Chain A
């Protein structure tokens, strides 16, 4: 069978003939296409790519890809993906999950995969609602949010995925609006390039059960004023006029206007995604105005596979056991005639 070289791929090579069944207008279509556009840029071979998902609307994703994939069970995709990657570290492994899948039923696997730093990518479709079960509140729904299971308003305070992830030692965390395909594609490319577990939170609008939940940040009319899109090594400046920025005032981030009260561009904080200490990254994740997007944290660290490989090589070189017979006949044995 003819093999297409990595360089000749287009997004179509990563699609398949299955009909995509998400609701019309869903941001999931944007994410699917952004992934399919990112993969040819990454240069990985199609047969070396694996998508693993859990359960939920987002988790249908692998069925729409032209790569290897598994639609797993609810919440367990990070554990399945860990097994795939440990079995064959040459693969490019992607986890597709939602806010319920990763932070409710799969919370345990979510924090532990981040802690271990296995080299895989997680795309978290955060729509702050349960879509597939038709509209119950999720672990990221807001207090007071009226849903099918909270008709008088949600009483359970939400997780912030970035805050939870960085608390669980995530080395790479990015956030992007579901209506920003270009930036999203760039982030996916960076996530795959990053050695370690990369988590990308997509603020994904659910047109049916939670329509408009991010509109105050993501609407094209307000986006530039309400979002700060971070880039490593660049000042934290935002706004249509590019005149707003972040400074540190005591222990808090503060929005200032360049040109007012003697503030100049030099006063604005410069983003350092590669810093090991997550304090600033946590502050950025928590900020409500502006909402911080882009790659917030990208700290290079040793991966689990690297640690395991080094240990295995060391033990293999020292061991007197080359095959199982060596082990079975070692130590005390005796003959029966």
Chain B
């Protein structure tokens, strides 16, 4: 099984990451850190390390001054320092956490051995309350793992081990988890055991077992690496906080509900990597949020359709396979023209695919994954922080245009964190719902706004507007069931036109760097960070004939797309899929679109983008 993972490891494309292992001086942190850096170096990463251990050979166990640490800075680019900010802290005890927390920025990940947070150890580390329980770590992603007990369990059938040996090998459990997290094979470390414990086969077996146990544990809980993206441009002034993409998505809906005066309903079924949106929204009952964990994906969306029919701002959250299950219901929402937002946090597909890895391969599913002519609005967030505003915008478009909206994010931005300029609800754009509050003469449920073609939203409880909707085709005027051939064509055109007219309500496409030139780099969604960084680097190097156009609106496309394209000679569409957006562009614009695709479950690496772009312009 381990061997099969090797190709995954070689596909490493991480730019740079700082990991710090801390624990008691007897916990083997130096060995753990060395193994990780050696393994990384063998896979071609540049590495800088910084061991930090107490001067006493064996300081009192669990004490603050007995903490031993090892920091590794690895990267696919040149690394010159052991790193300033820690991306991942692995703390084997409370003392290690206490003395090292300062180095970890909010939003980053901390893995702790939860078993070590006993009353005795907390006292030794001078904690008055348990930091895992008192909320003091709420700004971090804390992963609590009962490492000591899992290690013990893994070793229960191996003879010749005493309690001390068992306790000491829990560092290998931690190492196994980190190997999984950063897609590294444990093989190198297993070879190391084979050499080191040549005459003690039970120790080879024990260490290998624990290492693999940690590796598989991380796989089982679908642990996802946290990426931290630094904002590329000078930051706008304001109050900021560090936010994760999934949290930003959840908060965007909270803001939209408040602004529109509606209650928020979420129907959802847990699925990696979208579940954190559910986790976030269930916390906010104080805002009247109704977060309903349904029996399956279909009930997730259909309960949301029911809530929308009854007048809530209704959303459902999922990832690729879940969107497939929701397809028929999404068609119903489109047919009965109710507001609904479907969030798809994309992951590697097809089928179960790579649940913890990122990909952009659900674009065509979002566009076309339904029976019949079934257009919906499709938009995509492009950074962890702007998940907020695109979630807000998705809700606004759904409510104002009375149609389902698919909001695409992906595992990379959903689990990544970034600085977010906090938005006050009063500063956000207005949301004007189509709610009809009282009965009118000659009212029909398919009365439409002349400009947007959005129909009226009459919800149960309003006397005089009683009406029936349904999946059967309806008469364009009365809304009654109709099988008239011409009417079906009329209704099909109206539904298409309604989505097309959204073009007038979304921003134009503004290319960055050159606005005319030889090459236009084209991207959409979660690849913004990588593409922007590469384009900027070329620009800074003096390559001034390259523009960069990034799409957040896919259906409909920005109204000025043709004008932007017109000013460039060549186009390279970069996507983490096999060319889905490139094909959408080909359908709409008569040009030759080159493709740069990566389908490894990993984001683009800067170096590969630069190389490709240079190749085209030179």
Q: Point out residues on A near B: beta carbons under 8 Å.
A: 1, 3, 18, 45-52, 55, 62-63, 65-73, 76, 79-88, 90-91, 108-109, 112, 308, 311-312, 315-316, 318-319, 321-325, 327-329, 331-337
Specify the chain B residue showing the minimal Cβ separation from A337: B237
Least CB distance, B423 to chain A, in whole angstroms = 7
11 A/B residue pairs, CB under 8 Å, sorted by A: A1-B438, A62-B470, A69-B467, A70-B468, A72-B305, A79-B294, A79-B306, A83-B309, A328-B424, A334-B239, A335-B239
Which secondary structure dominates where chain A touches chain B? mixed
The tally of CB-CB contacts under 8 A between chains A and B is 210
Asked if B452 is at the interface of the complex by the 8 Å CB criterion, the answer is no
Q: Tell me which of B31-39, B280-288, B528-536 binds A.
A: B280-288
Cross-chain contact of B310 among A45, A66, A83, A337 (Cβ < 8 A): A83
Closest residue to B331 on the A side, CB-wise?
A73
CB-based contact B306/A68 at 8 Å? no
Contact B258 A324 (CB under 8 A): yes
Residues of B within 8 A of A84 (CB): 306-307, 309-310, 460
The complex places the Cα of A337 from the Cα of B238 at a distance, in Å, of 7
Least distance between B479 CB and chain A CB atoms (Å): 11
| Pair A334/B263 contact, Cβ less than 8 Å | no
Contacts of A328 in B (CB 8 A): 241, 251, 422-424
Contact indicator per residue, chain B 299-328, by CB within 8 Å of chain A (1) or not (0): 100111111111110100000000000001
Given contacts A52-B306, A87-B310, A108-B296, contact A73 B328 (CB under 8 A): yes
* Contact status B254-A327, CB under 8 Å: yes
Please name 17 further chain A to chain B contacts, defined as beta carbons within 8 Å, in addition to the given A1-B438, A109-B302, sorted by A numbering.
A46-B463, A55-B471, A70-B469, A71-B469, A73-B329, A79-B295, A79-B306, A82-B303, A83-B309, A86-B303, A87-B311, A88-B310, A323-B425, A324-B258, A328-B423, A334-B240, A335-B240
Whether the Cβ atoms of A323 and B329 lie closer than 8 Å is: no
With known contacts A47-B460, A68-B466, A312-B285, A333–B236 Cβ distance under 8 A = no
A308–B464 Cα distance when bound, in Å, is 31
Q: Are A333 and B466 in contact (CB under 8 A)?
A: no
**C-alpha spacing A318/B285, complex, angstroms:** 11
The residues of A that contact B138 with a CB separation of less than 8 Å are 331
Does chain A have a CB within 8 A of B217? Answer: no
If A46-B463, A68-B460 touch, whether A83 touches B284 (CB-CB below 8 Å) is: no
Shortest CB-to-CB span from A83 to chain B, Å, is 3
- Set of chain A residues within 8 Å of B463, measured between Cβ atoms: 1, 3, 45-47
Q: Which of B230-289 contact A (CB under 8 A)?
A: 235-242, 251, 254-255, 258, 263, 265, 267, 284-288
Given A324-B254, A327-B251, also A336-B467 (CB < 8 A):
no
A322 to B311 CA separation, bound complex (whole angstroms): 22
Contact between B439 and A1 (Cβ–Cβ < 8 Å)? Answer: yes
Q: Please, which residues of chain A bring their CB within 8 A of the CB of B284? A: 321, 327
Name which residue of chain B comes closest to A312, CB basis. Answer: B285
| B139→A108 contact, CB < 8 A | no
The answer to whether residues A80 and B328 also contact, given A312-B285, A331-B138, A332-B106 and a CB cut-off of 8 A, is no
Q: For B139, B286, B328, B462, which residue has the most chain A Cβ atoms within 10 angstroms?
A: B286
Interface centre among A3, A69, A335 (most CB of B within 10 A): A69
Measured between beta carbons, the chain B residues less than 8 angstroms from A55 are 471
Is the CB–CB distance between B302 and A79 below 8 Å?
Answer: yes
Q: Which residues of B contact A82 (CB under 8 A)?
A: 292, 299, 303, 306
Residues of B within 8 A of A91 (CB): 310, 460-461
Chain A proximity of B248: nearest CB distance (Å): 10
Hey, which chain A residues are within 8 Å of B381, CB to CB?
none
Contact A86-B290, Cβ < 8 Å, known A47-B463, A91-B461, A334-B240: yes
Considering only CB atoms, which chain B residue lies closest to A328 in the complex? B422
Q: Is the CB of B466 within 8 A of A83?
A: no
Q: Name the CB-closest residue of B to A319.
A: B286
Cβ of B422 and Cβ of A333 under 8 Å apart?
Answer: yes
Q: Is B104 an interface residue (CB 8 A)?
A: no
Number of chain B residues whose Cβ lies closer than 8 Å to a Cβ of chain A: 72
Residues in B lying within 8 Å of A, measured CB to CB: 106, 138-139, 235-242, 251, 254-255, 258, 263, 265, 267, 284-288, 290, 292, 294-296, 298-299, 302-312, 314, 328-329, 332, 336, 419, 421-425, 438-441, 459-472, 480-481
Verify A312–B302 contact, CB threshold 8 A: no
Select one of A67, A83, A108 contacting B306, CB under 8 A.
Answer: A83
Contact B302 A73 (CB under 8 A): yes
What's the minimum C-beta distance from B86 to chain A, rounded to whole angstroms?
Answer: 16
- Using A72-B302, A82-B306, A327-B284 as known contacts, say yes or no to A47 and B295 having CB atoms under 8 A apart: no
- Check B287–A324 contact: CB distance below 8 A: yes
Residue from the set B237, B423, B461 with the largest chain A CB neighbour count within 10 Å: B461
Q: Which chain A residues border B299 with CB–CB below 8 Å?
A: 76, 79, 82, 108-109, 112
Inter-subunit contact B302/A80 (CB<8 Å): yes
A12 to chain B minimum Cβ distance, whole angstroms, is 14
Which chain B positions have C-beta within 8 A of A112? 294-295, 299
Min CB distance, A77 to chain B, in Å? 8
Minimum distance in angstroms from B409 CB to a CB of chain A: 19
Are B290 and A325 within 8 A (Cβ)?
no
CB <8 Å contact, B303 and A83: yes
Assembly CA distance A83 to B328 (angstroms): 17
- Of B424, B466, B468, B471, the residue contacting A73 (CB under 8 A) is B471
Given known contacts A71-B470, A88-B461, A332-B106, A76 and B265 CB-to-CB distance under 8 angstroms: no
Across the interface, B286 reaches (CB within 8 A) one of A70, A315, A329, namely: A315
CB closest chain-B residue, reference A63 = B468
CA distance A67 to B236 in the complex (A): 52
Q: How far is the CA of A322 from the CA of B288 in the complex (A)?
A: 10
Write the chain B residue with the least CB distance to A311.
B285
Q: Are B472 and A71 in contact (CB under 8 A)?
A: yes
Q: How distant is A104 from chain B, measured CB to nearest CB, in Å?
A: 14
Partner of A321, one of B237, B287, B306, B480: B287
Q: Are A334 and B425 interface neighbours, CB within 8 A? A: no
Residues in B whose Cβ lies below 8 Å from that of A315: 285-286
Q: For B329, what are the chain A residues with a Cβ–Cβ distance below 8 Å? A: 73, 76
**Which B residues are in CB contact (< 8 Å) with A108?**
295-296, 299
CB–CB B464/A47 < 8 A: yes
Of the residues A50, A70, A323, A327, contact of B336 by C-beta under 8 Å = A70
Note all chain A residues with C-beta closer than 8 A to B424: 325, 328
- Scoring B251, B440, B470 by chain A CB atoms within 10 A of each residue's CB, the highest score goes to B470
- In the complex, the answer to whether B438 meets A83 with C-beta atoms within 8 Å is no
| Least distance between B379 CB and chain A CB atoms (Å) | 21
Q: Across the interface, do B461 and A90 meet the contact criterion of CB distance under 8 Å? A: yes
In the complex the two chains form, is A83's CB within 8 Å of B332's CB? no
Which A residues are in CB contact (< 8 Å) with B469?
69-71
- CB contacts (< 8 Å) of B440 on chain A: these are 1
Chain A hits for B419, CB < 8 A: 336
Contact B290–A324 (Cβ < 8 Å): no
A45 to B424 CA separation, bound complex (whole angstroms): 40
Residue of B240, B292, B296, B298 touching A86 (CB-CB under 8 A): B292
Check A336/B286 contact, CB under 8 A, given A66-B466, A112-B295, A328-B251. no
One of A48, A67, A70, A322 near B470 (C-beta < 8 A): A70
**Cβ of A329 to closest chain B Cβ, rounded Å:** 6
Cα A192 to Cα B517 with chains together (Å): 70
Interface centre among B251, B288, B306, B309 (most CB of A within 10 A): B306
Which of A71, A76, A85, A335 contacts B298, CB < 8 Å?
A76
Shortest distance between the CB of B95 and any CB in chain A (Å): 23
Residues from chain A with a CB closer than 8 A to the CB of B294 are: 79, 112
Taking a contact as CB atoms under 8 Å apart, the answer to whether A86 and B307 are in contact is yes
- Complex Cα spacing A3 to B465, Å: 11
Q: Considering the complex, give the chain B residue whose CB is closest to the CB of A17.
A: B480
Query: Does the CB pair A87–B312 fall under 8 Å?
Result: yes
Give the chain B neighbours of A336 by CB distance below 8 A.
Answer: 235-240, 419, 421
